[in-house]
Amino acid sequence: MQYKTLGRTALRVSVIGLGTMVHGGHFGPMKDEESLAAIDTALELGVNFIDTSDAYGAGYSETLLGNALKGRRDKVILATKGGNVMVGPNKGKRIFAPEYIDDVLHGSLKRLQTDWIDLYQLHNPDVEVIERGEVWEVLEKRKKEGKIRHYGVSINTMAEGIAAAKGGRAETIQVEYSLLQQEPAEEIFPLAQAANVGIIARLPLKRGILTGKLTQTDEQRFQGEDVRARSFKGEAFAKELAKAEKLRFLVHGPVKTLGQAALAFCVAHPAASIAIPGARNAQQMRENAAAGDVTLPPEDLAKVAELWRSGFAA
């Protein structure tokens, strides 16, 4: 496993981390024993960064993780997020009022059964919150108290990422970045590098498309609360699968799967410290972690860039 420094936090993170949205049931039903096996396997393989949120399973993912890390909290760089309301009358809203974030931050500490959170992230704040939000003062206060060690943002749009990189408050930016979504490398990464802001690549496998294992018939499985039920449908799904097929040339030599190539691509960029794919079970975690020892050759990276700029028409 390779390790990088996460921006100015000085945290040394494994280039492959573990995202736990899947353990909250957002990609279909999960069994706790499989989630726990994925976490155990991650630690065994040198993965030292685990990302969660109070929104994943309305706190269930944090609770599960807190139980899993008993007796070994010091072995993990633990990141969580707050701001997305999952229960009560405000369900579905995003709230970044200082008193709200302070309350949910303490809730996360309790569910995670820890005295400190290594990285606390605002969960998809808009540009106004990033630039002028009073919430930063609360985060700084809790940092001085030792309840959080660093803070950053998880963002949805390029404008939000640009604001975070320029704003000077966020120490890290979590952004969707993958073989299929390379815009951050052009619009956000240069600014982040200049400000020494750490980059965390989320959705590096594009909700499973870049594993190379999905087919058109799989969309029938995406039902109910599965987040893929909203977007992985029909022609749009087929187009993404077709793009993934054009990337299979990356699988050669030490690269055994398209998924490993996708993860290695993310951390090949000098601005990106870590990719945080989910893993449903120990087997998926092993495959993901293997990407931490893979380096894509320059000619493959150049071809990937050409494909993306052409809209995968090449």
Q: How many CB atoms lie within 10 A of CB 312?
A: 18
Indicate whether 314 belongs to any domain.
no
209 Cβ contact partners less than 8 Å away, ≥ 6 residues apart: 180, 240, 241, 243, 244
How many domains are there within the chain? 1
* Measured distance CA(267)–CA(108) in Å, rounded: 28
Domain that holds residue 99: 3-309
Residues involved in catalysis: 56
Backbone angles phi, psi at 139, to 5 degrees: -65, -40
- What is the maximum alpha-carbon separation in the chain? 54
Domain-embedded: residue 248: yes
* Residue 42 near residue 285, CB atoms below 8 Å: yes
267: exposed, middle or buried (Cβ count in 10 Å: 0-12, 13-18, 19+)? buried
What is the three-class DSSP state of 127? helix
CA separation for the pair 197, 281 (Å, rounded) = 31
Residue 214 token pair: 């999905």
Beta-bridge partner residues of 94? 84
> Is residue 51 in some structural domain?
yes
pLDDT of res. 235: 80
88 conformational bin, left if phi > 0, alpha if psi -120 to 50, beta if neither: left
User: For position 21, what pLDDT does the model report?
Assistant: 83
Is 205 within the bounds of a domain?
yes
Residue 8 · residue 197 · CB < 8 Å? yes
> How big is the chain by its Cα radius of gyration, in Å?
18
pLDDT of res. 237 = 84
Residue 286, both tokens: 């092993």
Output the domain CATH number for residue 78.
Answer: 3.20.20.100
What's the pLDDT score for residue 255? 94
**Which residue ranges in the chain fall short of pLDDT 70?**
23-30, 218-230, 314
pLDDT in the model for residue 226:
62
Q: Which residue has the tokens 């200082």?
A: 98
Contact 204, 277 (CB under 8 A): yes
Residue with tokens 């989630």: 35
163 part of a folded domain:
yes
- Is position 77 within any domain? yes
Measured in Å, how far apart are the chain's first and last C-alpha atoms?
Answer: 33
Half-sphere exposure of 217 (CA within 13 A, CB side): 1
Report the alpha-carbon distance of residue 153 to residue 177 in Å, rounded.
15
The identity of residue 48, as a single letter, is N
